[in-house]
Structure 1
Amino acid sequence: MTYPALPDMILEPMVRSALMEDLGANGDITTLTVIPADATYSARLNAREDAVVSGMQVAALAFRLVDSALRVTTHAADGQRCSKGDTLMEIEGSAASILSGERVALNYAGRMTGVATATAALVAETKGTKARITCTRKTTPGLRIVEKQAVLHGGGFNHRFSLSDAILIKDNHIAAAGGVRAVLEASKARASHMMKVEIEVDTLDQLAVVLEVGGADVVLLDNMPPEMLKQAVALVDGRIVTEASGNINRNTVAAVAATGVDYISSGALTHSYRTIDIGLDF
């Protein structure tokens, strides 16, 4: 599957900030000290384990921001599976420029590939069901846009990008506002007709109130065991979208998907992923 790339102008401030953090006030003093200014090399980004690739666009941008004269050739597209030893990208040109951009490029590529690989593992466990895997806002500060892009590369879907995207009424909102009925009545009275409303419930009794009052487009079934999820899906009977969440991992996701829920959200995709080992070799 081909995934649309984000415009570089959206990613550039984030990548430029990472480069400035790494280069510091004096630049790459090791490279400036030991590498001849006219030295040129061809370097390769190589996968050191099997994975689902992500972050190639961002890694290429990091090298180009260091030196627009570098020639960057991507051999593995974001969303593509790779095997240990595969070359993902080649960078040709100034050796000093390649070395100065190396760490930032690898940081993004390794982390984003980690998210994509973790997402693909959960997606594989849902095969044969209608359930879609989606991420949450439990992202690394400053990296949300690329971590969520990596979820797409792994075959998942995106939840909200920010608090301003949709109304998502959680347990603390319900407690502070006076109950399920109160928050739903408030959202019906005040929310724009263009704004989706999702509400979290922990029990079937709460779900019954949601269905009675109306006004919700999606119901988040939080930390319900599979048998309760089946009952919840039956109670909803297709009237609103169902999303299961809580303790989602490779050991639990298949049973959750089998209950018939529409979406399964996992914060672990972006807060507990393992960075994939990708190296740059001259």
Structure 2
Amino acid sequence: MDKESRAREIVYGLGNSIMCYKVQLELISLGAAAVKPIIEFLLAGPTNEHAPRCLAAEALGLIGGEGALNGLVTALLAPLDVPDPVKRLAEGAVRDCICHALQRLGDKKAIEPLLIALEAYHLVGAAEALAGFGEQRAIPILVGMLDDSFKRTRVSDAILCFGTNAIENLVRTSILKGLREDVEILPSIERRAEAARLLGLIGDKSVIPWMLCMLDDEQELVRFEAAVSLTNLMERAAPDRVFKIIKSSIHKVNFERRFRAKEALCLMNIREEGFR
């Protein structure tokens, strides 16, 4: 039996939870001969389980070569028209794995398909892969994705990979409000607050004047994140108003807000009677 025939014989073993890793290792050991059967398996269509096809994508990323690259791109850009929510969630996970496999290949031919996938499907995996490639065209799309609370943590991590190159887009989004009947909606508030947080983490002191202006924002969450960022940027030189904004959050119901407020005050080396 030749190598490709062997690959065809075993590839569906990726769906066996007991044998899947052994099968994946054998497919990888078969090298280029296994690429076509793995691609066919990857393109088989959405299912409720993402793991088997993620293993297939991972194998292609490890085998490498032009055939693997083309197969991964084809699978990435296949129409994502899946009405079933469970299958759609699983398919999103598979696409993320495909993006990571393309990043592992390291071929810049993958950048354009990744940009298309990022813009069309808002795939977090595409965001992470493009950050790995250092592709700055991804930045405005990523900043726009900060509206999505489900994806925000990973998207923020990807934005931080761009460092100071992300500052302009973060500053711009910090004043861009999404309104409904003249009232700012929660995703917009959270996006602007996250932009303020990221500006502080990037650590470029050129944004200090802008962050000081954000202390006057009408949204409490935005003011808080701006104040915390200023403690990172200015340390003990931060104005008293920063301290007051942060201190006002110490007794908030939200545990994370309380913890971060206390952490910021400790970093400022403020020791006040009654503060715990």
- Normalised to the residue count of structure 2, the TM-score between the two structures is 0.27
Quick check: which one's helix share is greater?
A: 2
- Determine which structure has greater relative contact order: mean sequence separation of CA pairs < 8 Å that are 6+ residues apart, divided by chain length: 1
Quick check: which one's strand share is greater?
A: 1
